[in-house]
């Protein structure tokens, strides 16, 4: 079967199924991979900020609203919500800023919020590659649930 490589832009998510591959590029943003290993249906969200306090803006930009939308769409596509597992990546500190500044803490705040929301949904994070000071390109393989991570000047990882 032929797979499609589906690019997930910033402040968006995509849902697909095996054998497709979902790809995005992350810095301080967080990539959230949700996967049902039985149906092999999954999604990848590329969130920019932790919380949606402005309901008139794009809800896919924020961890709280994007995860809720993605879970609902996964269910509609045939994923069993009780089987969902998560992998997360990103949340880097891309700029030399104090951690207590807004810019310096975006990645940390994004990761903390994603962990909190997934915990509230009782979705286990089975692996993660977060923080650091470097960007990542991630490929989420819906055939296997593997997440391949590439970073400039670093060994490729698979989680």
The first and second tokens of residue 130, run together, are 């977060």
Catalytic residue flag (residue 33): no
The first and second tokens of residue 152, run together, are 């400039």
Phi/psi of residue 116, nearest 5 degrees: -65, -45
Q: What gap in Å lies between CA 129 and CA 135, rounded to an integer?
A: 11
Alpha-carbon separation of residue 134 from 1, 151, 157 (angstroms): 35, 7, 14
The active-site residue, picked from 11, 21, 29, 149, is: 29
Return the closest-CA partner of residue 14 out of 66, 57, 50. Answer: 66
Peptide bond preceding 24: is omega within 30 degrees of 0, i.e. cis? no
Phi/psi of residue 58, nearest 5 degrees: -65, 115
Q: What gap in Å lies between CA 17 and CA 79, rounded to an integer?
A: 9
Q: What are the residue numbers of the active site?
A: 29
């Amino acid at each position: 079967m032929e797979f499609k490589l589906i690019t997930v832009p910033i402040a968006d998510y995509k849902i697909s199924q095996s054998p497709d591959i979902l790809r995005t590029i992350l810095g301080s943003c967080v990539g959230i991979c949700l996967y049902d290993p039985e149906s092999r249906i999954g999604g990848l969200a590329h969130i920019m900020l932790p919380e949606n306090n402005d309901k008139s803006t794009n809800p896919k930009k924020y961890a709280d609203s994007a995860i809720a939308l993605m879970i609902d769409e996964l269910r509609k596509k045939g994923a069993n919500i009780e089987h969902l597992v998560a992998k997360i990546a990103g949340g880097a500190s891309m700029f030399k800023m104090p951690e207590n500044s807004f810019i310096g803490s975006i990645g940390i705040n994004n990761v903390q919020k994603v962990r909190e929301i997934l915990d509230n949904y009782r979705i286990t994070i089975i692996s993660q590659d977060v923080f650091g000071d470097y960007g990542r390109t991630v490929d989420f393989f819906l055939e296997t649930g593997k997440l391949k991570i590439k970073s400039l000047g670093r060994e490729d990882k698979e989680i």
